[in-house]
Amino acid sequence: MVRRIWRIINSENQVWRVGLLPGISAILIVIVLRLLGSFQFLELASYDTFMRLRPQEKIDERILIVGINDNDIQRVKNYPIPDQDITLLLNKLKIYKPAVIGLDIIRDLPQQPGHTELVKTFKETKNLIAIDKILPDGSGLTFNPPPNLPQEQIGFADAILDLDTKQRRSLLAASNKKREWIFSFQLRITETYLKTKNIYLENVEGDSYGMKFRETKLPRFESHSGGYIQADALGSQILMNFRNQRQPFHKISLTEIQSGKVNPNWIRGKIVLIGMTSSSAKDYVNSSAINSENPALNYGIEIQAHVVSQLVSAVLDNRPMINVWADGWEYLWIISWGILGLSLGRGIRNPFQMLIYLTIASICLIVICYGLIIIGWWVPIVPTLFILVFNGLGLAAFYRYDQALRDRIEDRQLVIDQVFDIIHTHPLQTLNFILREVQSDEGLPPQAFVSKLQQLNQELRDVYDLVKREAVVELNSLYLSQEQRLDLSQLLEEILFEVYNDVLERDYVYFKNIKQKIFKFEPMDEGNLTIEQKRSLCRFLEEALCNVKKYAYGTTRLEVICTQENGKNLIRVADNGLKIETIADLSLHSGFGTKLAKNLAKQLGGEFKRYPNTPRGIVCQLTWSAKKLWFWRY
């Protein structure tokens, strides 16, 4: 038993070693493809999808957007909006005492009329933040900040776009041509607002690019953050955590605020951002991560508001920033799910169950990644899901092929065993009788000798017909002879009784001389027997009965018992023909049939015994417990 268990373990280890090679190779290939950026597009798309599918958030009451729309331009009858209208807007807002005003409109050149008044208003409005541009656009152009504003009231409005022209990250700080450290428009707005609450921007110790407000660190974007591969990580960038709401901020037009149609509570002590929301301005930002009707038509001022809201909410509300794992943890994550795929592919043999478990594992992976996004962690999903499914289905297919190959080998071996069983049961028995009679003192009369040779000839021809018939017949059938077909789907005791009758009728003359025949065929526990095991049990009984004629000279009493004893199934054939004095004498009569019986006993997890009967004869006995078959069938 221990030897069999060890053989099973060695066989499983060999299959594992062979199966692990393609699985581990697939994991390594996925890792290499990710390092080369092959999954970047899909990872960014999945990130956008998760961001849009997050739970809805409430409106950020701290921010008001004043959008100059197409109706405002029609009313003013001029574009760009003249300086005098910007001056009136700023002075109107100052009445409501906002905490900070952000002007996301280019004003590096005069837009008459009213330029002088605007310059004066700029100088008097200490909580105003205006924009400039430090990075050239596609045409190589930049623009300067408005005149007469100190550096601390200016922030750059440059946007970092990915290769798909979508914005997912924000540049908060960078160095200019003079190697001076300058801040973005969003960071200036946030810094000014939080100062009113006695919260100040600080450096992170040990990181010259790191920034924080009190204990809230701004996680800096790296070139390999999340699904990015070799991205431009210049300056200090963050991944944008857009507020998931169709109308995340209060929004009014230039006309509404100039006419006084505004709730003062939306402005007093709040952040007011002024920008263009007109299609003619073409100040659009494409971002699929925003939950809006048209992700490609997000106005620039709305994106600025999202970033400001992200920073302020992180400091005051503990709203999560978007964090990522270190590269090592990300690849360990991918490898772990790849190994899970290997385990599923190896451990689950039923294809339907395999699909169910793989679907469950995939759903769990997606749910975990989605849950992590909600709490501010972006982990790889596309390469992880790919390797999970590939290793699960691919390795399952490999193991199914390996199992099919083993089954074919076993089927061929089964055919060989069946052919030999048939030859051993019929032609070899006849040949053994001829040899025994020829070698006896009386010899064999010529007519009887010829008759036996003819019988041997016919039996050899029948071997082909029997094997051919069993090859094309259904699997639950067994042919004992040309005419005798057994249905192996019947109860085991019924099938064995048919075998008993067939053998006794087949050798009627010999068994007729036996004066006392005792037989008992009672119900047996066959719940876990396979068709092939039932076939082998029939052959065992046939062989045992034929051996009575073959070896048991002078048999007058035959006992055939097929029943249950002491919780075990039992097949016993006992005769009183041959007197065996020693175990050594018994071993002389142990041939290939005995080896097949012992092998069957191993398969059943039982025991085969052949021992002397008392006072004379031989007992051939097979016992097994059907409850143990689940292990041996593995």
pLDDT in tens, 472-495: 455 677 777 666 778 888 899 999
Per-position DSSP letters for 171-214, written without gaps between them: EEEEE-TT--EEEBHHHHHHHHHHHTTT--EEEETTEEEEEEET
pLDDT tens-digit profile of 317-345?
999 999 999 999 999 999 999 989 888 87
Looking at residue 579, its pLDDT comes to 56
What pLDDT sits at residue 372?
A: 95
Q: What is the pLDDT of residues 260-292, one digit of tens each?
A: 888 999 999 999 999 998 877 777 788 888 877
Measured in degrees and rounded to the nearest 5, phi and psi for residue 405 equal: -65, -45
The two beta strands, 201-204 and 207-213, are: antiparallel
Give the per-residue pLDDT at 294: 67
Q: What angle do CA 237, 240, 242 make, to 5 degrees?
A: 160
* CA 342, 348, 350, 356 torsion-angle sign: negative
Cα–Cα distance for residue pair 122/100, rounded to 1 Å: 13
Confidence category of residue 634, pLDDT binned at 50, 70, 90 = very low
- pLDDT score of 5: 47
Ordered by start, the domain boundaries in the chain are 2-36+327-402, 48-324, 426-472, 474-634
Return the DSSP state at 82. Answer: P
Q: Of 417, 240, 255, nearest to 322 (Cα)?
A: 240
SS3 365: helix
Q: Is the pLDDT of residue 567 over 70?
A: yes
pLDDT score at 623 = 93
Tens-digit pLDDT profile for residues 357-407 = 999 999 999 999 999 999 999 999 999 999 999 888 877 666 666 666 665
Residues 6+ apart with CB under 8 A from 339: 23, 27, 391
Is a pLDDT exceeding 80 seen at residue 161? yes
Confidence band for 515, pLDDT divided at 50, 70 and 90: confident
Q: Given this model, what pLDDT does residue 1 score?
A: 45
Residue 136 and residue 114: Cα distance in Å, rounded? Answer: 29
Region 313-319 average pLDDT: 94
The pLDDT of residue 9 is 45
Q: Please indicate whether residue 182 or residue 79 has the higher confidence score (pLDDT).
A: 182
Binned at pLDDT 50, 70 and 90, residue 525 comes out as confident
Give the residue-averaged pLDDT of 603-608.
88
Mean pLDDT for 618-627 is 86
Predicted local confidence at residue 139, as pLDDT:
46
Task: Specify whether the CB–CB gap between 103 and 131 falls below 8 A.
Answer: yes
Contact partners, residue 572, CB within 8 Å, separation at least 6: 559, 560, 561, 562, 619, 620, 621, 622
Q: 224 near 346, Cβ under 8 Å?
A: no
pLDDT at 65 over 70: yes
Predicted local confidence at residue 15, as pLDDT: 53
The dotted CATH code for 474-634 is: 3.30.565.10
The residue length of the chain stands at 634
DSSP summary character for residue 145: P
Conformational region of residue 114, where left means phi above 0, alpha means psi within -120 to 50, and beta covers everything else: left
Query: Which pTM value belongs to this model?
Result: 0.67
Grade residue 582 by pLDDT with cuts at 50, 70 and 90. Answer: very low
pLDDT in tens, 72-128: 888 888 888 888 999 999 999 999 999 999 999 888 777 788 888 988 999 889 999
What mean pLDDT value characterizes the chain? 82
Confidence at residue 346, expressed as pLDDT on a 0 to 100 scale: 73
Q: Tell me the pLDDT band of 418, cut-offs 50, 70 and 90.
A: low
Please give the share of the chain, as a percent, with pLDDT higher than 70: 80
Q: d(Cα 270, Cα 312) in Å, to the nearest integer? A: 11
Report the DSSP pairing between strands 201-204 and 100-103: unpaired
Q: Is the pLDDT assigned to residue 438 strictly greater than 80?
A: no
Specify the higher pLDDT residue, 480 or 598: 598
The pLDDT confidence band at residue 8, using thresholds 50, 70 and 90, is very low
